Chains A and B, each alone.
Chain A
Amino acid sequence: MNDAFSPDEASRDVIAALGFADEMAVLRRRIAAWVADCDPEMRDALEWQFLGGSKYFRPLTIFACHRSVIPGPIPEPIMTSALVVEFFHNVSLVIDDIVDRSDARRGRATLHTRFGELAALMTSGYIVADGYALLRDDVQAIGLLSELLKRLGVAECMQWRLRRQPLGVEDWRRIAGEDTGSMFEICACLGDRSSRLRRFGGLLGLLYHGCDDVGDVRGAAALGGGGDEDVRDGILTLPAALAIRDPDIAALFCKSEPDQQDLNILAQAFAARLSDAEAELDRIAEQARAEARLFSVNPAPLLALVDQTRRLSVR
Protein backbone atom coordinates (compact mmCIF):
# COMPACT_ATOMS: atom_id res chain seq x y z
CA MET A 1 0.00 0.00 0.00
CA ASN A 2 1.09 3.53 -0.64
CA ASP A 3 2.00 4.98 2.78
CA ALA A 4 1.18 8.44 1.48
CA PHE A 5 -2.50 7.65 1.87
CA SER A 6 -2.18 6.60 5.50
CA PRO A 7 -4.22 8.34 8.16
CA ASP A 8 -2.59 10.82 10.49
CA GLU A 9 -1.41 9.71 13.92
CA ALA A 10 -4.47 10.86 15.83
CA SER A 11 -6.75 9.03 13.40
CA ARG A 12 -4.89 5.75 13.80
CA ASP A 13 -6.03 5.68 17.44
CA VAL A 14 -9.60 6.39 16.37
CA ILE A 15 -9.57 3.68 13.71
CA ALA A 16 -8.15 1.18 16.18
CA ALA A 17 -10.69 2.15 18.83
CA LEU A 18 -13.53 1.62 16.38
CA GLY A 19 -12.12 -1.64 15.08
CA PHE A 20 -12.13 -0.74 11.39
CA ALA A 21 -8.43 -1.12 10.62
CA ASP A 22 -9.00 -3.66 7.81
CA GLU A 23 -11.80 -1.66 6.24
CA MET A 24 -9.72 1.51 6.33
CA ALA A 25 -6.82 -0.33 4.71
CA VAL A 26 -9.14 -1.37 1.88
CA LEU A 27 -10.41 2.19 1.54
CA ARG A 28 -6.90 3.65 1.38
CA ARG A 29 -5.92 1.12 -1.28
CA ARG A 30 -8.99 2.14 -3.29
CA ILE A 31 -8.06 5.82 -3.04
CA ALA A 32 -4.46 5.11 -4.07
CA ALA A 33 -5.61 3.00 -7.04
CA TRP A 34 -8.08 5.67 -8.14
CA VAL A 35 -5.43 8.40 -8.05
CA ALA A 36 -2.98 6.19 -9.96
CA ASP A 37 -5.61 5.53 -12.62
CA CYS A 38 -6.77 9.12 -13.13
CA ASP A 39 -5.90 11.41 -16.01
CA PRO A 40 -2.14 12.22 -15.96
CA GLU A 41 -2.97 15.92 -16.20
CA MET A 42 -4.69 15.74 -12.83
CA ARG A 43 -2.49 13.20 -11.08
CA ASP A 44 -0.04 15.58 -9.38
CA ALA A 45 -2.82 17.68 -7.93
CA LEU A 46 -4.81 14.65 -6.77
CA GLU A 47 -1.75 13.07 -5.19
CA TRP A 48 -1.03 16.34 -3.44
CA GLN A 49 -4.58 16.61 -2.14
CA PHE A 50 -4.93 13.02 -0.97
CA LEU A 51 -1.31 12.79 0.22
CA GLY A 52 -1.89 15.28 2.98
CA GLY A 53 -3.22 12.70 5.41
CA SER A 54 -6.76 12.50 6.58
CA LYS A 55 -8.71 11.75 9.70
CA TYR A 56 -11.11 9.60 7.65
CA PHE A 57 -13.89 10.41 10.13
CA ARG A 58 -16.56 10.44 7.45
CA PRO A 59 -15.85 6.96 6.06
CA LEU A 60 -15.55 5.76 9.66
CA THR A 61 -19.00 7.18 10.35
CA ILE A 62 -20.40 5.27 7.38
CA PHE A 63 -18.80 2.04 8.55
CA ALA A 64 -19.89 2.52 12.17
CA CYS A 65 -23.49 3.31 11.19
CA HIS A 66 -23.63 0.28 8.93
CA ARG A 67 -22.15 -2.00 11.58
CA SER A 68 -24.58 -0.69 14.20
CA VAL A 69 -27.55 -1.95 12.20
CA ILE A 70 -26.12 -4.89 10.21
CA PRO A 71 -23.36 -7.12 11.63
CA GLY A 72 -20.68 -8.64 9.42
CA PRO A 73 -18.28 -7.39 6.78
CA ILE A 74 -18.76 -4.04 5.05
CA PRO A 75 -20.38 -4.71 1.64
CA GLU A 76 -19.05 -3.25 -1.60
CA PRO A 77 -21.73 -0.53 -2.10
CA ILE A 78 -21.04 0.80 1.41
CA MET A 79 -17.29 0.80 0.73
CA THR A 80 -17.81 2.72 -2.54
CA SER A 81 -20.05 5.21 -0.72
CA ALA A 82 -17.28 5.76 1.82
CA LEU A 83 -14.77 6.30 -0.97
CA VAL A 84 -16.95 8.91 -2.68
CA VAL A 85 -17.74 10.68 0.60
CA GLU A 86 -14.01 11.03 1.21
CA PHE A 87 -13.69 12.46 -2.31
CA PHE A 88 -16.49 14.98 -1.76
CA HIS A 89 -15.10 15.92 1.65
CA ASN A 90 -11.80 16.76 -0.03
CA VAL A 91 -13.65 18.90 -2.58
CA SER A 92 -15.22 20.85 0.27
CA LEU A 93 -11.76 21.35 1.81
CA VAL A 94 -10.34 22.67 -1.46
CA ILE A 95 -13.21 25.15 -1.83
CA ASP A 96 -12.99 26.17 1.84
CA ASP A 97 -9.27 26.86 1.49
CA ILE A 98 -9.84 29.05 -1.57
CA VAL A 99 -12.66 30.98 0.14
CA ASP A 100 -10.72 31.35 3.41
CA ARG A 101 -7.50 32.24 1.55
CA SER A 102 -5.74 29.55 3.56
CA ASP A 103 -2.15 28.90 2.58
CA ALA A 104 -1.67 25.71 4.57
CA ARG A 105 -3.68 22.72 5.73
CA ARG A 106 -2.42 19.80 7.78
CA GLY A 107 1.02 21.40 7.81
CA ARG A 108 1.48 21.67 4.04
CA ALA A 109 0.50 24.01 1.21
CA THR A 110 -3.15 23.97 0.17
CA LEU A 111 -4.02 22.78 -3.33
CA HIS A 112 -4.66 26.25 -4.76
CA THR A 113 -1.46 27.60 -3.21
CA ARG A 114 0.56 24.80 -4.78
CA PHE A 115 -1.14 24.53 -8.20
CA GLY A 116 -3.15 27.74 -8.59
CA GLU A 117 -6.87 28.42 -8.24
CA LEU A 118 -7.83 27.25 -11.71
CA ALA A 119 -6.18 23.86 -11.21
CA ALA A 120 -7.73 23.56 -7.74
CA LEU A 121 -11.24 24.31 -9.03
CA MET A 122 -10.90 22.00 -12.04
CA THR A 123 -9.52 19.23 -9.84
CA SER A 124 -12.58 19.64 -7.61
CA GLY A 125 -14.87 19.25 -10.61
CA TYR A 126 -12.93 16.19 -11.76
CA ILE A 127 -13.29 14.55 -8.34
CA VAL A 128 -17.06 15.21 -8.16
CA ALA A 129 -17.67 13.93 -11.68
CA ASP A 130 -15.71 10.73 -11.16
CA GLY A 131 -17.32 10.25 -7.74
CA TYR A 132 -20.74 10.18 -9.36
CA ALA A 133 -19.42 7.83 -12.05
CA LEU A 134 -18.30 5.40 -9.36
CA LEU A 135 -21.83 5.45 -7.90
CA ARG A 136 -23.61 4.81 -11.18
CA ASP A 137 -25.29 1.61 -9.91
CA ASP A 138 -26.31 3.03 -6.54
CA VAL A 139 -29.26 5.37 -7.07
CA GLN A 140 -29.86 5.84 -3.34
CA ALA A 141 -26.28 7.01 -2.77
CA ILE A 142 -26.49 9.36 -5.76
CA GLY A 143 -29.58 10.96 -4.24
CA LEU A 144 -27.98 11.31 -0.82
CA LEU A 145 -24.74 12.78 -2.16
CA SER A 146 -26.67 15.22 -4.35
CA GLU A 147 -28.50 16.35 -1.22
CA LEU A 148 -25.13 16.75 0.49
CA LEU A 149 -23.58 18.92 -2.21
CA LYS A 150 -26.65 21.17 -2.32
CA ARG A 151 -26.70 21.59 1.45
CA LEU A 152 -22.97 22.25 1.65
CA GLY A 153 -23.37 24.98 -0.96
CA VAL A 154 -26.25 26.55 0.94
CA ALA A 155 -24.35 26.32 4.24
CA GLU A 156 -21.26 28.00 2.83
CA CYS A 157 -23.32 30.89 1.44
CA MET A 158 -25.28 31.21 4.69
CA GLN A 159 -22.14 31.19 6.82
CA TRP A 160 -20.55 33.88 4.69
CA ARG A 161 -23.69 36.04 4.63
CA LEU A 162 -24.06 35.82 8.41
CA ARG A 163 -20.46 36.70 9.30
CA ARG A 164 -19.73 39.67 11.58
CA GLN A 165 -23.22 39.65 13.01
CA PRO A 166 -24.20 39.52 16.68
CA LEU A 167 -25.91 36.13 16.53
CA GLY A 168 -26.34 33.38 19.11
CA VAL A 169 -25.76 29.71 19.83
CA GLU A 170 -28.96 28.76 18.03
CA ASP A 171 -27.67 30.44 14.87
CA TRP A 172 -24.40 28.55 15.28
CA ARG A 173 -26.36 25.30 15.54
CA ARG A 174 -28.22 26.11 12.35
CA ILE A 175 -25.08 26.94 10.38
CA ALA A 176 -23.05 24.04 11.76
CA GLY A 177 -26.00 21.68 11.27
CA GLU A 178 -26.12 22.49 7.57
CA ASP A 179 -22.34 22.51 7.15
CA THR A 180 -20.61 19.64 8.96
CA GLY A 181 -23.95 18.37 10.25
CA SER A 182 -25.23 17.65 6.75
CA MET A 183 -22.03 15.80 5.87
CA PHE A 184 -22.34 13.42 8.82
CA GLU A 185 -26.10 13.12 8.36
CA ILE A 186 -25.52 11.84 4.85
CA CYS A 187 -22.74 9.53 6.07
CA ALA A 188 -25.18 8.01 8.57
CA CYS A 189 -27.79 7.51 5.85
CA LEU A 190 -25.22 5.98 3.49
CA GLY A 191 -24.22 3.60 6.25
CA ASP A 192 -27.59 2.49 7.60
CA ARG A 193 -29.51 2.92 4.31
CA SER A 194 -32.76 3.49 6.22
CA SER A 195 -32.33 7.07 7.49
CA ARG A 196 -33.02 5.80 10.98
CA LEU A 197 -29.64 7.18 12.07
CA ARG A 198 -29.95 10.46 10.17
CA ARG A 199 -30.50 12.47 13.33
CA PHE A 200 -27.57 10.71 15.01
CA GLY A 201 -25.39 11.71 12.08
CA GLY A 202 -26.56 15.31 12.29
CA LEU A 203 -25.71 15.48 15.98
CA LEU A 204 -22.33 13.85 15.39
CA GLY A 205 -21.60 16.45 12.71
CA LEU A 206 -22.65 19.24 15.04
CA LEU A 207 -20.37 17.78 17.71
CA TYR A 208 -17.48 17.51 15.26
CA HIS A 209 -18.00 21.10 14.10
CA GLY A 210 -18.12 22.35 17.70
CA CYS A 211 -15.03 20.38 18.69
CA ASP A 212 -13.28 21.84 15.65
CA ASP A 213 -14.26 25.36 16.78
CA VAL A 214 -13.07 24.75 20.33
CA GLY A 215 -9.92 22.99 19.13
CA ASP A 216 -9.14 25.98 16.91
CA VAL A 217 -9.33 28.31 19.88
CA ARG A 218 -7.03 25.98 21.78
CA GLY A 219 -4.78 25.63 18.74
CA ALA A 220 -5.33 21.89 18.81
CA ALA A 221 -3.02 20.20 16.37
CA ALA A 222 -5.37 17.28 15.75
CA LEU A 223 -7.79 19.48 13.85
CA GLY A 224 -5.25 21.36 11.80
CA GLY A 225 -4.71 24.14 14.34
CA GLY A 226 -5.31 27.78 13.60
CA GLY A 227 -8.74 29.27 13.47
CA ASP A 228 -7.21 32.72 12.93
CA GLU A 229 -9.07 33.00 9.64
CA ASP A 230 -12.40 32.52 11.39
CA VAL A 231 -11.64 35.30 13.88
CA ARG A 232 -10.41 37.59 11.10
CA ASP A 233 -13.47 36.91 8.91
CA GLY A 234 -16.02 37.17 11.73
CA ILE A 235 -17.21 33.58 11.31
CA LEU A 236 -19.69 32.48 13.95
CA THR A 237 -17.96 29.65 15.86
CA LEU A 238 -19.33 28.14 19.06
CA PRO A 239 -16.94 30.04 21.38
CA ALA A 240 -17.67 33.21 19.39
CA ALA A 241 -21.45 32.75 19.74
CA LEU A 242 -21.01 32.53 23.52
CA ALA A 243 -18.47 35.33 23.83
CA ILE A 244 -20.45 37.90 21.85
CA ARG A 245 -23.20 37.79 24.45
CA ASP A 246 -21.00 40.49 25.98
CA PRO A 247 -21.96 43.68 24.09
CA ASP A 248 -18.38 45.00 24.03
CA ILE A 249 -17.10 41.80 22.46
CA ALA A 250 -20.04 41.79 20.06
CA ALA A 251 -19.09 45.30 18.92
CA LEU A 252 -15.53 44.18 18.18
CA PHE A 253 -16.74 41.02 16.46
CA CYS A 254 -18.95 43.08 14.12
CA LYS A 255 -16.20 45.51 13.08
CA SER A 256 -15.69 45.31 9.32
CA GLU A 257 -11.92 45.78 9.53
CA PRO A 258 -10.62 44.75 12.96
CA ASP A 259 -6.98 45.53 13.74
CA GLN A 260 -4.56 43.12 15.40
CA GLN A 261 -5.40 44.42 18.88
CA ASP A 262 -9.11 43.79 18.25
CA LEU A 263 -8.32 40.27 17.08
CA ASN A 264 -6.25 39.60 20.20
CA ILE A 265 -9.07 40.78 22.47
CA LEU A 266 -11.54 38.60 20.55
CA ALA A 267 -9.25 35.57 20.81
CA GLN A 268 -8.99 36.08 24.59
CA ALA A 269 -12.75 36.50 24.92
CA PHE A 270 -13.37 33.31 22.94
CA ALA A 271 -10.85 31.42 25.10
CA ALA A 272 -12.63 32.68 28.24
CA ARG A 273 -15.84 30.95 27.11
CA LEU A 274 -14.26 27.56 26.40
CA SER A 275 -15.74 25.92 29.48
CA ASP A 276 -19.25 26.99 28.40
CA ALA A 277 -18.54 25.72 24.91
CA GLU A 278 -17.36 22.39 26.31
CA ALA A 279 -20.55 22.12 28.35
CA GLU A 280 -22.62 22.71 25.20
CA LEU A 281 -20.59 20.03 23.41
CA ASP A 282 -21.21 17.62 26.28
CA ARG A 283 -24.95 18.15 25.86
CA ILE A 284 -24.74 17.52 22.12
CA ALA A 285 -22.66 14.38 22.72
CA GLU A 286 -25.25 13.11 25.19
CA GLN A 287 -28.03 13.71 22.67
CA ALA A 288 -26.05 11.75 20.07
CA ARG A 289 -25.56 8.87 22.50
CA ALA A 290 -29.28 8.81 23.27
CA GLU A 291 -30.05 8.63 19.53
CA ALA A 292 -27.55 5.80 19.11
CA ARG A 293 -29.09 3.80 21.94
CA LEU A 294 -32.63 4.35 20.68
CA PHE A 295 -32.28 3.80 16.97
CA SER A 296 -29.55 1.23 16.39
CA VAL A 297 -29.41 -2.51 16.92
CA ASN A 298 -25.87 -2.41 18.30
CA PRO A 299 -24.95 1.07 19.56
CA ALA A 300 -21.35 0.18 20.54
CA PRO A 301 -19.63 1.47 17.35
CA LEU A 302 -21.70 4.66 17.46
CA LEU A 303 -20.95 5.31 21.12
CA ALA A 304 -17.24 4.81 20.43
CA LEU A 305 -17.51 7.25 17.53
CA VAL A 306 -19.14 9.89 19.74
CA ASP A 307 -16.44 9.43 22.40
CA GLN A 308 -13.64 9.71 19.86
CA THR A 309 -15.21 12.79 18.27
CA ARG A 310 -15.72 14.44 21.64
CA ARG A 311 -12.01 14.05 22.41
CA LEU A 312 -11.04 16.09 19.34
CA SER A 313 -11.56 19.37 21.18
CA VAL A 314 -8.97 18.59 23.83
CA ARG A 315 -6.19 16.94 21.80
Chain B
Amino acid sequence: MSDSSRSFSHPMGSGQIDAVADFMAALAEIWGKGMSAWQTMTGTALYPDLDRSSTPGADPLGAMLGPMASVAASLAAMLPRQMTRSAAAEASREAASQFGDLSPAMAEAGMIAAASTLRYWRTLAEICARHQSGLMQAAVDRATDRSAVSPAECRVLADELRAFLREIGEAATQEARRLQMELEQVGEAVARAATPAKQPPHPDHRRRHRVKE
Protein backbone atom coordinates (compact mmCIF):
# COMPACT_ATOMS: atom_id res chain seq x y z
CA MET B 1 0.00 0.00 0.00
CA SER B 2 1.28 3.46 -0.78
CA ASP B 3 1.96 6.06 1.88
CA SER B 4 -0.83 8.23 0.71
CA SER B 5 -3.39 5.47 1.11
CA ARG B 6 -2.07 4.63 4.57
CA SER B 7 -2.69 8.18 5.70
CA PHE B 8 -6.40 7.66 5.06
CA SER B 9 -6.54 4.19 6.63
CA HIS B 10 -7.77 5.47 9.98
CA PRO B 11 -11.16 7.10 9.63
CA MET B 12 -10.16 10.07 11.76
CA GLY B 13 -6.62 10.95 12.73
CA SER B 14 -5.87 13.05 15.79
CA GLY B 15 -5.07 16.08 13.69
CA GLN B 16 -8.37 15.73 11.92
CA ILE B 17 -10.25 15.50 15.23
CA ASP B 18 -8.59 18.72 16.39
CA ALA B 19 -9.49 20.41 13.17
CA VAL B 20 -13.10 19.21 13.33
CA ALA B 21 -13.42 20.35 16.94
CA ASP B 22 -12.02 23.75 16.04
CA PHE B 23 -14.24 23.96 13.03
CA MET B 24 -17.38 23.11 15.04
CA ALA B 25 -16.47 25.59 17.73
CA ALA B 26 -15.88 28.27 15.10
CA LEU B 27 -19.21 27.55 13.47
CA ALA B 28 -21.01 27.73 16.82
CA GLU B 29 -19.33 31.04 17.54
CA ILE B 30 -20.19 32.41 14.10
CA TRP B 31 -23.78 31.33 14.55
CA GLY B 32 -23.97 33.33 17.79
CA LYS B 33 -22.36 36.36 16.19
CA GLY B 34 -24.60 36.13 13.15
CA MET B 35 -27.67 35.92 15.36
CA SER B 36 -26.71 38.98 17.37
CA ALA B 37 -25.72 40.89 14.20
CA TRP B 38 -29.05 40.08 12.64
CA GLN B 39 -30.89 41.18 15.74
CA THR B 40 -28.93 44.42 15.79
CA MET B 41 -29.55 45.12 12.12
CA THR B 42 -33.26 44.33 12.19
CA GLY B 43 -33.78 46.00 15.54
CA THR B 44 -35.43 42.90 16.94
CA ALA B 45 -34.45 40.57 19.70
CA LEU B 46 -35.64 37.07 18.97
CA TYR B 47 -34.65 35.73 22.34
CA PRO B 48 -34.56 38.65 24.76
CA ASP B 49 -33.45 37.86 28.29
CA LEU B 50 -32.52 34.37 27.22
CA ASP B 51 -29.31 32.82 28.34
CA ARG B 52 -28.75 30.63 25.29
CA SER B 53 -26.07 28.56 26.88
CA SER B 54 -28.47 27.38 29.56
CA THR B 55 -31.55 27.06 27.40
CA PRO B 56 -31.37 24.09 25.08
CA GLY B 57 -33.48 24.46 21.99
CA ALA B 58 -33.60 28.24 22.03
CA ASP B 59 -30.82 28.40 19.44
CA PRO B 60 -31.25 25.41 17.13
CA LEU B 61 -27.92 25.50 15.31
CA GLY B 62 -26.03 26.36 18.47
CA ALA B 63 -27.79 23.51 20.24
CA MET B 64 -26.77 21.18 17.43
CA LEU B 65 -23.20 22.35 17.01
CA GLY B 66 -22.42 22.58 20.72
CA PRO B 67 -22.71 18.83 21.41
CA MET B 68 -20.99 18.02 18.11
CA ALA B 69 -18.07 20.21 19.11
CA SER B 70 -17.97 18.50 22.51
CA VAL B 71 -17.96 15.05 20.91
CA ALA B 72 -15.19 16.09 18.58
CA ALA B 73 -13.17 17.47 21.48
CA SER B 74 -13.71 14.26 23.49
CA LEU B 75 -12.53 12.16 20.59
CA ALA B 76 -9.52 14.41 20.20
CA ALA B 77 -8.64 13.86 23.85
CA MET B 78 -9.15 10.12 23.58
CA LEU B 79 -7.63 9.26 20.25
CA PRO B 80 -3.97 10.13 20.86
CA ARG B 81 -3.89 7.62 23.75
CA GLN B 82 -5.27 4.92 21.49
CA MET B 83 -2.76 5.80 18.89
CA THR B 84 0.06 5.67 21.43
CA ARG B 85 -1.04 2.24 22.54
CA SER B 86 -0.88 1.00 19.01
CA ALA B 87 2.36 -0.32 17.66
CA ALA B 88 2.10 1.71 14.46
CA ALA B 89 4.03 4.75 15.69
CA GLU B 90 5.87 5.07 12.42
CA ALA B 91 2.68 4.90 10.41
CA SER B 92 1.11 7.46 12.69
CA ARG B 93 3.94 9.91 12.11
CA GLU B 94 3.63 9.42 8.38
CA ALA B 95 -0.10 9.87 8.56
CA ALA B 96 0.33 13.08 10.53
CA SER B 97 2.78 14.26 7.91
CA GLN B 98 0.31 13.45 5.16
CA PHE B 99 -2.45 15.21 7.02
CA GLY B 100 -0.20 18.20 7.41
CA ASP B 101 -0.30 18.52 3.64
CA LEU B 102 -4.09 18.57 3.75
CA SER B 103 -4.60 20.85 6.74
CA PRO B 104 -4.59 24.01 4.58
CA ALA B 105 -7.56 22.50 2.78
CA MET B 106 -9.36 22.02 6.11
CA ALA B 107 -8.55 25.60 7.03
CA GLU B 108 -9.79 26.79 3.66
CA ALA B 109 -13.00 24.78 4.07
CA GLY B 110 -13.47 26.35 7.48
CA MET B 111 -12.97 29.82 6.06
CA ILE B 112 -15.40 29.10 3.24
CA ALA B 113 -18.03 27.84 5.68
CA ALA B 114 -17.52 30.82 7.98
CA ALA B 115 -17.77 33.29 5.10
CA SER B 116 -20.87 31.50 3.87
CA THR B 117 -22.52 31.79 7.28
CA LEU B 118 -21.77 35.49 7.55
CA ARG B 119 -22.90 36.11 4.00
CA TYR B 120 -26.15 34.30 4.66
CA TRP B 121 -26.86 36.43 7.74
CA ARG B 122 -26.07 39.61 5.82
CA THR B 123 -28.44 38.60 3.03
CA LEU B 124 -31.17 37.83 5.57
CA ALA B 125 -30.65 41.25 7.13
CA GLU B 126 -30.87 42.93 3.71
CA ILE B 127 -34.09 41.11 2.89
CA CYS B 128 -35.58 42.02 6.26
CA ALA B 129 -34.57 45.65 5.86
CA ARG B 130 -36.13 45.76 2.38
CA HIS B 131 -39.47 44.34 3.48
CA GLN B 132 -39.62 45.49 7.06
CA SER B 133 -41.22 48.92 6.59
CA GLY B 134 -44.10 47.69 4.44
CA LEU B 135 -44.86 44.64 6.53
CA MET B 136 -44.50 46.47 9.84
CA GLN B 137 -46.74 49.31 8.67
CA ALA B 138 -49.39 46.82 7.67
CA ALA B 139 -49.10 45.06 11.01
CA VAL B 140 -49.45 48.37 12.87
CA ASP B 141 -52.47 49.35 10.77
CA ARG B 142 -54.05 46.04 11.45
CA ALA B 143 -53.36 46.26 15.17
CA THR B 144 -54.76 49.77 15.51
CA ASP B 145 -57.87 49.37 13.38
CA ARG B 146 -58.63 45.91 12.13
CA SER B 147 -61.68 46.95 10.15
CA ALA B 148 -59.64 49.47 8.12
CA VAL B 149 -57.89 46.75 6.14
CA SER B 150 -59.84 46.07 2.97
CA PRO B 151 -59.70 42.79 1.03
CA ALA B 152 -57.66 44.55 -1.67
CA GLU B 153 -55.13 45.73 0.92
CA CYS B 154 -55.04 42.22 2.34
CA ARG B 155 -54.18 40.87 -1.11
CA VAL B 156 -51.34 43.34 -1.52
CA LEU B 157 -50.05 42.54 1.95
CA ALA B 158 -50.24 38.81 1.25
CA ASP B 159 -48.29 39.35 -1.97
CA GLU B 160 -45.58 41.27 -0.13
CA LEU B 161 -45.38 38.65 2.59
CA ARG B 162 -45.06 35.90 -0.01
CA ALA B 163 -42.27 37.83 -1.73
CA PHE B 164 -40.51 38.15 1.63
CA LEU B 165 -40.80 34.42 2.33
CA ARG B 166 -39.70 33.52 -1.20
CA GLU B 167 -36.62 35.70 -0.92
CA ILE B 168 -35.73 34.14 2.44
CA GLY B 169 -35.97 30.70 0.87
CA GLU B 170 -34.03 31.72 -2.22
CA ALA B 171 -31.27 33.20 -0.07
CA ALA B 172 -30.90 29.89 1.76
CA THR B 173 -30.80 27.76 -1.38
CA GLN B 174 -28.46 30.10 -3.23
CA GLU B 175 -26.04 30.21 -0.33
CA ALA B 176 -26.24 26.43 0.07
CA ARG B 177 -25.46 25.92 -3.62
CA ARG B 178 -22.59 28.37 -3.42
CA LEU B 179 -21.19 26.66 -0.34
CA GLN B 180 -21.52 23.27 -1.99
CA MET B 181 -19.72 24.46 -5.11
CA GLU B 182 -16.88 26.07 -3.17
CA LEU B 183 -16.44 23.01 -0.95
CA GLU B 184 -16.46 20.78 -4.03
CA GLN B 185 -13.58 22.81 -5.41
CA VAL B 186 -11.64 22.30 -2.17
CA GLY B 187 -12.51 18.60 -2.30
CA GLU B 188 -11.19 18.35 -5.83
CA ALA B 189 -7.97 20.05 -4.76
CA VAL B 190 -7.66 17.56 -1.87
CA ALA B 191 -8.23 14.66 -4.26
CA ARG B 192 -5.54 15.97 -6.59
CA ALA B 193 -3.12 16.41 -3.67
CA ALA B 194 -3.84 12.91 -2.36
CA THR B 195 -3.30 11.25 -5.74
CA PRO B 196 0.31 10.18 -6.20
CA ALA B 197 2.10 11.35 -9.33
CA LYS B 198 1.58 9.09 -12.32
CA GLN B 199 4.06 6.21 -12.42
CA PRO B 200 4.77 4.12 -15.48
CA PRO B 201 2.79 0.87 -15.23
CA HIS B 202 4.62 -2.01 -13.57
CA PRO B 203 5.46 -4.76 -16.06
CA ASP B 204 3.42 -7.22 -13.95
CA HIS B 205 0.33 -5.10 -14.45
CA ARG B 206 0.49 -5.07 -18.22
CA ARG B 207 -2.57 -6.44 -19.87
CA ARG B 208 -1.90 -9.89 -21.21
CA HIS B 209 -5.23 -10.73 -22.80
CA ARG B 210 -6.15 -9.79 -26.32
CA VAL B 211 -9.11 -7.65 -27.14
CA LYS B 212 -11.92 -9.74 -28.58
CA GLU B 213 -12.43 -9.02 -32.23
Contact = CB atoms under 8 A, between A and B. Distances in A.
A170 interface: yes
A250 B159 CA distance: 15
A194 to B, nearest CB: 10
B155 A170 contact: no
Contacts of A170: 159, 162-163, 166
**What DSSP secondary structure best describes chain B's contact surface?**
helix
B150 interface: yes
A199 B177 CA distance: 10
A299 to B, nearest CB: 14
Interface residues of B, number: 14
Contacts of B174: 199, 291, 294
A169 B177 contact: no
A250 B155 CA distance: 11
A245 B151 CA distance: 10
A168 B181 contact: no
Contacts of B150: 247
B183 to A, nearest CB: 14
A166 B156 CA distance: 10
B152 interface: yes
Interface in B156-172: 156, 158-159, 162-163, 166
Contacts of B181: 196, 294-295
Interface in A224-271: 245-247, 250
A291 B175 CA distance: 11
Contacts of A247: 150-152
Contact of B155 (A245, A291, A294, A295): A245
B178 A168 contact: no
A196 B178 CA distance: 10
Contacts of A169: 159, 163
Contacts of B151: 247
A195 to B, nearest CB: 10
Nearest to A173: B166
A229 to B, nearest CB: 25
Max chain A C-beta neighbours (<10 A), residue from B150, B151, B155, B178: B155
A245 B178 contact: no
Interface in A156-181: 166, 168-170, 173
Given A196-B181, A199-B174, A295-B181, A168 B152 contact: no
Contacts of B156: 168, 245
Nearest to A291: B174
Interface in A272-297: 291, 294-295
Interface in B165-196: 166, 174, 177-178, 181
Interface in A126-175: 166, 168-170, 173
Contact of B152 (A199, A245, A291, A294): A245
B115 to A, nearest CB: 13
Contacts of A245: 152, 155-156, 159
B155 A166 contact: yes
A246 B156 CA distance: 9
A295 B174 CA distance: 10
30 contacts: A166-B152, A168-B155, A168-B158, A168-B159, A168-B162, A169-B159, A169-B163, A170-B159, A170-B162, A170-B163, A170-B166, A173-B166, A196-B181, A199-B174, A199-B177, A245-B152, A245-B155, A245-B156, A246-B152, A247-B150, A247-B151, A247-B152, A250-B152, A291-B174, A294-B174, A294-B178, A294-B181, A295-B177, A295-B178, A295-B181
Nearest first, the 6 closest Cβ-Cβ pairs linking A and B are: A168-B159, A247-B152, A170-B162, A245-B156, A170-B159, A169-B159
Interface of B: 150-152, 155-156, 158-159, 162-163, 166, 174, 177-178, 181
